[in-house]
Amino acid sequence: MKYISTRHAADRVSFLEAVERGLAVDQGLYVPESWPLIQPGEITDHSFIGIAQKILSPFLRDELTAHELHSLLKSAYDFQIPLRYLKNDTAVLELFHGPTAAFKDIAARFLARFMNLKISEQRTILVATSGDTGGAVASAFDEFKKFRAVVLFPRNGVSPLQRQQLTCWSDNVLSLEVNGSFDDCQRLVKTILGDAQVREQFGLASKFRFTSANSINIGRLLPQMIYHSAAAIWYQQKTGHAPGLIIPTGNLGDAVAAFWARKIGMPIREITIATNANTTLSNFYRTGRYEPRPSIRTLANAMDVGAPSNFERLSDLHPDVHELKKISSAVSVLDDEIRHAIRHGKADWGEIWCPHTATAAVARERMKTPHWIIVSTAHPAKFSEIVNPLIGGEIEMPPNLAQLFERPSRSTPVDATIDSVADALLGKTSH
């Protein structure tokens, strides 16, 4: 399988090259050049790893042997990814049992292992984060010492829990606490990754080879197909019905992976994109016009995105909005509704929702058709400062999160300038 750019003006490349480049030279996003069709009946082993192997092998056949893929999957997914059945033909897919308690662990762990297998020299993995991504990437690369993960986060933009999971890793993770906003962090990362002249000027070019691990990297998209596929197969097996998936959405990475899973023949009836008060996608479904706008802050902050970076992949797959609307929809959920869903989650569903998953729970309640899977993207304890007052109690910390708090925290303060970040990268700044 080769990978091509959504803008069709760049070379076809291998998966490894697509991972290493991040963005194609024409500034488009990498997508598979063709879509193998997999009949669910062909999948005989319905374990998570069995399904993962079957789904990913056509995409990675040229680069990993069946045995390599199998060992990679077994080592990456040594935690549970359960589908739990609730009432009213509804199930919840829990993607938060990995080391940092959000679904981003699942893709980050795949990416780290793939790179470890295929790249023998050192690499510097650079990522800007406003929350869950940085922790998942740091955690995933922590054990692979030939890589250095560099995480930039805004000093005043993360909760104490988020801060801990960005800063509690080994020496090969450099956590840079930027005196600025998330946008500053993103700008710094983009400049260093994208501007060879800047890398030269600040003495970075000869020392490091950089790779990005942000949500447009195909190495993060592809593995997200696994759990959507597994959940749909399991649900259909148990109930006899193909489910719809409701996916809490920000940059549209997780949802695009679900469209891809549907494209290769997985029994996904339809897809609902649940967003918060950032309405770019729900407006697009309503008007047919894509009009990105600045993001606004909501309770579901990992979804505070006004210009979803994977939109280009969605419109590449489904250029015709009318066709897209036959198989999917988008809903926007306001903070008051998120609060209401968390407050009543226990009584209504027997669940404590995280603020992101709460948007999907609200969307489920609006649906008139049966058979839906709510995709749960984070453990509610990650957002206890929001959740506790609403449930009128203290949510229990799961063991994966509790473990992170036993580790010492370490970070390097930097200014929001290339100069300051370069000094930290070169080891000229003290911790």
Ligand X SMILES: *Cc1c(COP(=O)(O)O)cnc(C)c1O
- Binding site residues, ligand X, CB under 6 A: 102, 104, 132, 215, 248-255, 302-303, 356, 377-378
Q: Which is nearer to ligand X, 139 or 420 (CB)?
A: 139
Tell me the closest approach of the beta carbon of residue 215 to ligand X, in angstroms. 5
Give residue 28's identity as a one-letter amino acid code.
Answer: G
Tell me the closest approach of the beta carbon of residue 370 to ligand X, in angstroms. 25
Residue 348, CA distances (Å) to 70, 275, 304 in order: 40, 21, 26
Tell me the closest approach of the beta carbon of residue 252 to ligand X, in angstroms. 5
Q: Could you tell me if 363 and 333 are in contact, meaning their C-beta atoms sit under 8 angstroms apart?
A: yes
Tell me the closest approach of the beta carbon of residue 181 to ligand X, in angstroms. 18
Q: Which is nearer to ligand X, 117 or 391 (CB)?
A: 391
Q: Which is nearer to ligand X, 252 or 330 (CB)?
A: 252
Q: Which is nearer to ligand X, 104 or 340 (CB)?
A: 104
Tell me the closest approach of the beta carbon of residue 136 to ligand X, in angstroms. 8
User: How far is residue 171's CA from residue 238's CA, in Å, rounded to a whole number?
Assistant: 46
How much is the CA Rg of the chain, to the nearest whole Å?
21
Q: Which is nearer to ligand X, 387 or 425 (CB)?
A: 387
Q: Could you tell me if 374 and 361 are in contact, meaning their C-beta atoms sit under 8 angstroms apart?
A: yes
Residue 338, CA distances (Å) to 267, 276, 311 in order: 29, 8, 24
Tell me the closest approach of the beta carbon of residue 245 to ligand X, in angstroms. 13
User: How far is residue 402's CA from residue 168's CA, in Å, rounded to a whole number?
Assistant: 12
What is the DSSP code string of 120-148? -S-EEEEEE-SSHHHHHHHHHHTT-TTEE
Q: Could you tell me if 33 and 2 are in contact, meaning their C-beta atoms sit under 8 angstroms apart?
A: yes
Q: Which is nearer to ligand X, 28 or 248 (CB)?
A: 248
User: How far is residue 135's CA from residue 142's CA, in Å, rounded to a whole number?
Assistant: 10
Tell me the closest approach of the beta carbon of residue 250 to ligand X, in angstroms. 4
Place of tokens 């649906």: 367
- The 10 Å Cβ neighbour count of residue 297 is 11
E-strand spans in 279-390? 328-332, 372-376
Q: Which is nearer to ligand X, 199 or 382 (CB)?
A: 382
Helix (H) or strand (E) holding 95: none
Q: Which is nearer to ligand X, 157 or 253 (CB)?
A: 253
Tell me the closest approach of the beta carbon of residue 275 to ligand X, in angstroms. 9
Q: Which is nearer to ligand X, 224 or 420 (CB)?
A: 224
Tell me the closest approach of the beta carbon of residue 212 to ligand X, in angstroms. 15
E-strand spans in 46-130? 83-85, 90-94, 123-128
CA-nearest of 367, 371, 370 to 330 is 367
